[in-house]
């Protein structure tokens, strides 16, 4: 993990980082005179865990938050923890035949990445896999949009996504890519075993080599006139179809 730090902002993102990963929170800034009662909770929790807290004015918070709405609180946080591909086997093995992986092929909008992480965490996914290059990374915006999910789910950054998919197949993971032109419906699949669901990027969808390394391409049936869904929406639909099947008796 990089030793650099970054600022994360927003009530949910900061509260989650303190609750779930306090050792990586360097300090917390809270708006002096802030009216939201959650600010008091965040301050008390931070102090209880030995984290320095400073009261600052709104201008100082805006300076570290940039264009992101800070909601009266910010935290200086160790750079995001990204796992390496060599840690995937342990994650799959620990899932005992029920691994649920989300693969994002060049999703570049941090808001989409944050929303995908939130859905993945809510679905109890095993991990989210992203390319190291040409992909949004887990920055302050992603942490805020994910509402704390970025601290709760393993994010694996891989150098070569196609090679990673081949390695997953060797581990017994079935890989399905979501593509609007596919003939097979997502709902016809058995998603109860070791499964990886692959989502393409916002502009061009999945890359050619990514497609070629999927065991199959599937679609979300859409009877309306719209031809495609936002990647974060498609992610939520797909993951929770897997959840539905795994909970069905």
Tens of pLDDT, residue by residue over 86-118, are 999 999 999 999 999 999 999 999 999 999 999
Cα–Cα distance, 150 to 117 (Å, whole number)? 6
Q: What is the mean pLDDT of residues 163-167?
A: 97
- pLDDT over threshold 50, residue 2: no
Task: Say how far residue 166 (Cα) sits from the centre of its chain.
Answer: 22
Range of the domain at 136: 85-247
Q: Which of 33-47, 77-91, 138-152 has the highest mean pLDDT?
A: 33-47
Beta-carbon contacts of 43 under 8 Å, excluding residues fewer than 6 positions away, are: 28, 30, 53
Residues 6+ apart with CB under 8 A from 74: 7, 8, 9, 14, 28, 29, 61, 64, 65
For the chain, how many structural domains are there in total? Answer: 2
User: Over the stretch 135-150, which tens digit does the pLDDT of each residue have?
Assistant: 988 877 787 788 778 8
pLDDT on residue 8: 85
Pick 65 or 125 by higher pLDDT: 125
Of 54, 78, 102, which closes a domain?
Answer: 78
User: What's the pLDDT at 91?
Assistant: 97
| Residues 192, 123 within the same domain | yes
Same domain for 92 and 43? Answer: no
What is the rounded distance in angstroms from the CA atom of residue 214 to the CA atom of residue 217?
7
Q: What pLDDT is stored for residue 35 in this prediction?
A: 84
Same domain, 128 and 221: yes
Same domain, 91 and 73: no
Answer yes or no: do 155 and 206 share one domain.
yes
Sequence-ordered strand ranges (E) for the chain: 5-9, 25-31, 52-56, 73-78, 100-105, 127-131, 155-158, 174-178, 184-185, 195-200, 216-219
Are residues 107 and 58 part of one domain? Answer: no
- Look at residue 179 in the predicted model and tell me its pLDDT: 92
Quick one: pLDDT at residue 249? 63
Instruction: Tell which of 60, 78, 96 closes a domain.
Output: 78
Checking if the pLDDT of 125 tops 60, the result is yes
pLDDT, greater one: 6 or 14: 14
| Residue 160: pLDDT over 60 | yes
Q: What is the mean pLDDT of the chain?
A: 91
Q: Do 198 and 99 reside in the same domain of the chain?
A: yes
**Domain holding 62: CATH number?**
3.30.1330.30
SS3 101: strand
Residue 232 has pLDDT above 90, yes or no: yes
Asked whether residue 236 falls in the same domain as residue 130, the answer is yes
**pLDDT confidence bin for 4, thresholds 50/70/90:** low
Quick one: average pLDDT of 71-98?
91
Sheet of 5-9, strands arranged across: 5-9, 73-78, 25-31, 52-56
Instruction: Find how far residue 178's CA is from the centre of its chain.
Output: 18
- Please say if the pLDDT value at position 213 is more than 50: yes
pLDDT at residue 181 tops 60:
yes
| Predicted confidence (pLDDT) at residue 200 exceeds the cutoff of 60 | yes
CATH number at residue 185: 3.40.1280.10
Q: What is the pTM of this model?
A: 0.79
Looking at the structure, tell me whether residues 37 and 116 fall in a common domain.
Answer: no
Q: Domain boundary at 50, 78, 106, which?
A: 78
pLDDT score recorded for residue 16? 83
Pairing of strands 100-105, 52-56: unpaired
Residue 178's SS3 state is strand
Same domain membership, residue 147 and residue 98: yes
Contact 141, 110 (CB under 8 A): yes
Higher pLDDT, 13 or 75: 75
64 plus 34 within the same structural domain: yes
Is residue 9 located within the same domain as residue 97?
no
Strands 52-56 and 73-78, sheet pairing: unpaired
């Amino acid at each position: 993990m990089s030793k650099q730090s970054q600022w994360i902002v927003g009530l949910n993102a900061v509260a989650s980082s303190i609750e779930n990963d306090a050792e990586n929170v360097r300090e917390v800034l809270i708006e002096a005179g802030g009216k939201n009662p959650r600010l008091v909770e965040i301050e008390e929790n931070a102090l209880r865990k030995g984290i320095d807290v400073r009261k600052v004015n709104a201008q100082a918070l805006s300076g570290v938050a940039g264009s992101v709405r800070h909601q009266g609180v910010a935290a200086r946080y160790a750079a995001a923890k990204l796992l390496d591909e060599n840690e995937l086997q342990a994650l799959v093995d620990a899932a005992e035949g029920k691994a649920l992986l989300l693969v994002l092929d060049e999703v570049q909008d941090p808001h989409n990445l944050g929303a995908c992480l939130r859905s993945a965490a809510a679905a109890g996914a095993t991990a989210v896999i992203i390319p190291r290059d040409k992909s949004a990374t887990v920055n302050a915006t992603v942490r805020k949009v994910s509402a704390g999910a970025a601290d709760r789910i393993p994010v694996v950054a891989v150098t070569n996504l196609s090679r990673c998919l081949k390695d997953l197949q060797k581990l017994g993971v079935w890989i399905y890519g979501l593509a609007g032109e596919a003939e097979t419906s997502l709902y016809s699949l058995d998603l109860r075993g070791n499964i990886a669901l692959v989502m393409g990027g916002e502009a061009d969808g999945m890359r050619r080599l990514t497609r070629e390394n999927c065991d199959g391409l599937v679609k979300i049936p859409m009877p309306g006139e719209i031809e495609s869904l936002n990647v974060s929406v498609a992610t939520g639909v797909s993951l929770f179809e897997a959840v539905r099947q795994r909970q069905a008796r």
